[in-house]
Amino acid sequence: MPGPRDRCPVCGMFVATYPEWIATIVLNDGQQLYFDGAKDMFRYYFSLPEGKITREDIDGIYVTEYYSARYAPADEVLFVLGTDVYGPMGAEMIPVRGRSHAETFMKDYSGKQIVTFAEVTPDMLPSDYR
């Protein structure tokens, strides 16, 4: 888990302030990169710093599942897009475990789409920031 001085490499926000939104990329060398939500984690993932990190350097990607507030591998949850639930930096991609929970969440919070980690593309990322 991030410490009080760990910042999101995308927006610079202190991530420990928002434990219910934390996403993490774990590198093969054990280094952990913390993000203030799935949206910024995907932004980073889709534009890895050239010459510094490759996808082969990534050991795992984790998100905080919305209902349980527990860490889960990103490829084991579904992401609900276009909802009226906002994270620390505005519109967010909501990680939810299980198709029925994702469908309920989408219905309850005006979601537009449910996708897996592998289906997410850069153009799906919410563009608004608070």
DSSP-assigned states of every residue in 14-65: BGGG-TTT-EEEEETTS-EEEESSHHHHHHHHHTPPTTT--GGGEEEEEEE-
- What residue type is assigned to position 72 of the chain? A
Average pLDDT over residues 116-128: 91
Amino acid 127: pLDDT: 78
pLDDT score of 128:
65
Tens-digit pLDDT profile for residues 56-101: 999 999 999 999 999 999 999 999 999 999 999 899 999 999 999 9
Average pLDDT over the chain, rounded to an integer: 94
